[in-house]
């Protein structure tokens, strides 16, 4: 390699790096409606909007095969991509699947991976249309690209939130992160010891949220039925704080969310206490929930209240007010994006 | 992982594995016109055909950073995907780019990679619309997905070759493979020794073919101008033999190609002699040429003869005749796919 000045990637972090590398990109094709910067890119062919999203998952960074069954991994790898398409208010239609495998893997491993993949695809009506299968020197790499469609008027970006809009989330938050903590703890305890079955009873939900997350197709359908069109939307993969700040930055607004309104499951709260962690911090920064975060006009308050599984957690403000969390005792804290960042110095 | 019977992946090889894993996939969406099995998948939205292709490149398997500059790597990573779209007789329009990088890489490395990527995109009128940037425990992984378009009547699959069709290739073959041999030889010689500049004079073409391949947009345009619509087409990434057999198998035909007609550059021939290799074998099995292999109706013979850079190398036969090579001395050999296969036991 050439002798050049070397700047550590950690100085920028994931989002900084993407911004740095892509800020000079000029779009050339009239069919390209939206490029880098949202859950998916938006292309337009003959007046139909096509959505494209992609994820690259690396063993040792995104998953640990010690406690992740291959079938679950296949399922999750597909789901996280569908989630990005739903987060644009679209419908996933096709995926391509690329795998790089080391010699450690056998055909049966990949069959299980494909079983999980196909199960997710069947549930969401998605076709596997191609991919690439190759070898890797170490570990497993999984790259999935998902293509979806949406009517032109329905596509929902991150940049449409308006002052007085309500901030909503689906499901509950922090459970996937607690599931990961639990698995990591059991791994550390039992490492090297065979024939031990850790007792996960009473914590099944946490494991399921980590190992078999769902993409909220149902929420998209409910919103559509109720005639609600979100003004901004994204899925919660890196943590509520981080995603809220993306929406606020891109929409040039601020927000206030209320600690007491953040939906947290009972098992999440119990586990946080067991680990001596603040459950709100876990919900704000945990990541991998794959729930939907969206804003809707204030006038849709009654409509949204009637949908099960959606919670209004706050509202959008003027930009100068920043992004704030109101705690249970009425104090206000500035939200910080402390979510998962694979490219940040640990 | 579960206790299951373990079958080594090498027993199937890349194509066998893909077939095995994908043969049970049923397509669910009417928009999915063609799935696994060609250079790209074909989707149809509002009567426009959308093409999707993807490639996963792993350090240590697909590229060696000892002799591959990051800018060239970015250029090549884009080009190999464009080539797949041209091989469907389409036009590439957008790519998504996912990178997994280890700590060994700095921001300047990625800037150079993106420079190469953007150069290729500018030349081919393609937009970078998204991607994923994450970390890797070891090495660099690059996953690119390319979206292209084609008129419905123009999409060219691998399965349309008919008896008496002419077999054509663009450019010349084997040079990229010779370039790789040259680089590997110099790497072995100079490993560990700094400040040595190997002398590549007289072999520049070989290096260029390996490090900076081109996708044959020009050939697609020439064919279109001449009013020739190939009956089958694919790009030569794994080697002429392997690709010819794909076309013949999928079209249910046989073929005869003539050794003396296979286009080989002077530098390729010299290098093969230097390395004591059979140049025809290199051209048949070398791979990474990214030239186009296609079949056209016999009646287009005169039209195709007038296009510079295309050579007729043989013709399509009945399936029972198999795939044969006629040597310079008139002998006939059955073609074997001995091209590059990342999942085969070495």
In this complex, the residue of A96, A125, A137 whose CB is nearest that of residue B52 is: A96
- Residue B37 pLDDT greater than 90, yes or no: no
DSSP-derived 3-state class of residue A167 = strand
User: What average pLDDT does the segment B176-182 reach?
Assistant: 95
Categorize the per-residue pLDDT at B5 as very low, low, confident or very high, splitting at 50, 70 and 90.
confident
User: Which ipTM was obtained for this model?
Assistant: 0.88
Higher-pLDDT residue of B344, B59: B59
3-state secondary structure of A14: helix
Residues in chain A: 346
Virtual torsion, Cα B298, B301, B303, B305, nearest 10 deg: 150
Q: With contact defined as beta carbons under 8 Å apart, do B265 and B172 qualify?
A: yes
pLDDT of residue B340: 59
- Which of A46, A145, A157, A234 would best serve as a mutation to test chain B binding (most B beta carbons within 10 A)? A145
Helix (H, G, I), strand (E, B) or coil at B100: strand
In percent, the amount of chain A with pLDDT more than 70 equals 94
Mean pLDDT of B112-119: 93
Quick check: A95 and A78 in contact, CB under 8 A?
yes
Cβ within 8 Å, pair A6-B108: yes
Contacts of A341 in chain B (CB under 8 A): none
Is residue A54 helix, strand or coil? strand
Q: Does A114 touch chain B (CB under 8 A)?
A: yes
- pLDDT tens sequence across A199-213: 788 899 999 999 999
φ and ψ of B341, to 5 deg: -135, 105
Which one is predicted more confidently, A188 or A274?
A274
Tell me if chain A has a CB within 8 Å of the CB of B130.
yes
Identity of the residue in A14, A41, A96 whose CB atom sits nearest the CB atom of B130: A41
Minimal C-alpha gap between B267 and chain A (Å): 26
A214-232 pLDDT tens trace: 999 999 999 999 999 999 9
What's the mean per-residue pLDDT of chain A? 90
**What is the band of B324 on the pLDDT scale with cuts at 50, 70, 90?**
very high
Highest mean pLDDT, choosing among A102-116, A228-242, B325-339 = A228-242
Contacts of A115 in chain B (CB under 8 A): none
> Helix or strand or coil: residue B214?
coil
- pTM of this structure: 0.90
Interface of B with A in 26-55 (CB under 8 A): 27-29, 31-32, 34-36, 40-41, 43, 45-48, 50, 52-55
Helix A266-274 with A175-190: angle, nearest 10 deg: 40
CA distance A233 to A304: 15
Q: What is the pLDDT of residues A36-71, one digit of tens each?
A: 878 788 888 777 789 999 999 999 999 999 899 999
Cβ atoms within 10 A of the Cβ of A198, count? 14
What is the spatial distance between Cα A127 and Cα A129, in angstroms, rounded to a whole number? 6
Question: CB-based contact (8 Å) between A9 and chain B?
Answer: yes
Q: Report, as an integer, the average pLDDT of B219-234.
A: 96
**Nearest residue to B17 (alpha-carbon basis) of A99, A95, A129, A75:** A99
CA distance A19 to A205: 36
Return the structure tokens found at B143.
């996953």
Query: Mind telling me how many Å the CA of A330 is from chain B's nearest CA?
Result: 38
pLDDT above 90: percentage of residues in chain B:
68
Q: Does A103 touch chain B (CB under 8 A)?
A: yes
Q: Which domains does chain B have, with CATH numbers?
A: 9-150 (3.30.1330.10), 166-334 (3.90.650.10)
B99 and A56 in contact by Cβ < 8 A? yes
User: Using CA atoms, how far apart are residues A12 and A297, in angstroms rounded to an integer?
Assistant: 35
- Is pLDDT above 90 for B21? no
Q: Measure the CA–CA gap between B45 and A43, rounded to whole angstroms.
A: 11
Q: 3-state DSSP call for residue B197?
A: coil
B2, pLDDT greater than 50:
no
Assigned token pair, B331: 């002998």
**Best residue in B2, B72, B96, B142 for a mutation probing chain A (most A CBs within 10 Å):** B96
Q: What is the mean pLDDT of residues A180-187?
A: 90
pLDDT of residue A195: 60
Q: Which residue has the tokens 């063609």?
A: B34
- Whether chain B has a CB inside 8 Å of the CB on A5: the answer is yes
User: Which residues from B are below 8 Å from A59, CB to CB?
Assistant: 137
Please check the confidence at residue B34 and state whether its pLDDT lies above 70.
Answer: yes
Please state, in angstroms and rounded to a whole number, the distance separating the CA atoms of residues A315 and A318: 10
Q: So what's the pLDDT on residue A193?
A: 63
Residue A2 reports pLDDT greater than 50: no
**How far is Cα A148 from Cα A92, in angstroms, rounded to an integer?**
4
Beta carbons of B108 and A137 less than 8 Å apart: no
Instruction: Tell whether A270 lies on the interface with B, counting CB pairs under 8 A.
Output: no
Q: Is the Cβ of A138 closer than 8 Å to some Cβ of chain B?
A: yes
Give me Rg for the CA atoms of chain A: 20
Instruction: Give the mean pLDDT of A250-270.
Output: 97
Probe site for chain A from B18, B21, B80 (most A CB atoms < 10 A): B21
Residue B54's DSSP bridge partners are B145
B340 has a chain A CB within 8 A of its CB: no
What is the rounded average pLDDT of the residues A171-181? 96
According to the model, what pLDDT value does residue A340 have? 59
Q: Do B145 and A96 touch (CB under 8 A)?
A: yes
Checking if the pLDDT of B93 tops 60, the result is yes
Give the model's pLDDT for residue A1. Answer: 44
pLDDT of residue B19: 81
Q: Which residue of A has its CA nearest to B73?
A: A1
CB atoms A12 and B131 under 8 Å: no
Neighboring chain A residues of B343 at a CB cutoff of 8 Å: 101, 133-135
Kindly tell me if the per-residue pLDDT of A27 is higher than 50: yes
Q: Taking CB atoms and an 8 Å cut-off, how many pairs form between chains A and B? A: 286
Of the candidates B9, B132, B135, the beta carbon closest to that of A107 is on: B9
Average pLDDT over residues B315-326: 96
């Amino acid at each position: 390699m050439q002798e050049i000045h070397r700047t550590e990637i950690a100085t920028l972090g994931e989002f900084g790096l993407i911004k740095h590398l892509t800020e000079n990109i000029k779009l050339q094709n009239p069919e390209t409606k939206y490029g880098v910067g949202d859950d998916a890119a938006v292309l337009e062919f003959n007046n139909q909007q096509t959505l494209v999203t992609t994820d690259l998952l690396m063993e040792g960074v995104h998953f640990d095969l010690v406690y992740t069954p291959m079938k679950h991994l296949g399922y999750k790898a597909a789901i996280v991509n569908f989630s990005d398409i739903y987060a644009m208010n679209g419908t996933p239609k096709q995926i391509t699947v690329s795998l790089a495998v080391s010699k450690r893997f056998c055909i049966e491993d990949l069959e299980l991976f494909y079983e999980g993949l196909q199960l997710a695809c069947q549930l969401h009506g998605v076709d596997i249309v191609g991919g690439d299968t190759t070898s890797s020197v170490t570990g497993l790499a999984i790259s999935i690209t998902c293509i979806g469609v949406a009517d032109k008027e329905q596509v929902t970006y991150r940049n449409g939130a308006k002052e007085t809009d309500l901030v909503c989330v689906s499901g509950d938050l922090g459970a996937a992160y607690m599931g990961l903590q639990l698995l990591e703890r059991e791994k550390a305890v039992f490492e090297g010891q065979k024939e031990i079955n850790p007792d996960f009873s009473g914590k099944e939900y946490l494991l399921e949220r980590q190992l078999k997350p769902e993409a909220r197709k149902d929420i998209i359908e409910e919103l559509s039925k109720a005639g609600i069109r979100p003004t901004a939307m994204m899925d919660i993969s890196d943590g509520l704080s981080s995603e809220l700040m993306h929406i606020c930055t891109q929409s040039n607004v601020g927000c206030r969310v209320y600690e007491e309104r953040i939906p947290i499951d009972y098992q999440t709260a119990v586990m946080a206490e067991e680990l001596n962690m603040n459950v709100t911090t876990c919900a704000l920064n945990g990541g991998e929930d794959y729930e939907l975060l969206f804003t809707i006009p204030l006038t849709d308050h009654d409509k949204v209240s009637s949908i099960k599984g959606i919670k209004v957690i706050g509202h959008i403000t003027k930009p100068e007010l920043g992004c704030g969390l109101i705690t249970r005792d009425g104090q206000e804290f500035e939200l910080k994006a402390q979510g998962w960042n694979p490219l940040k110095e640990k």
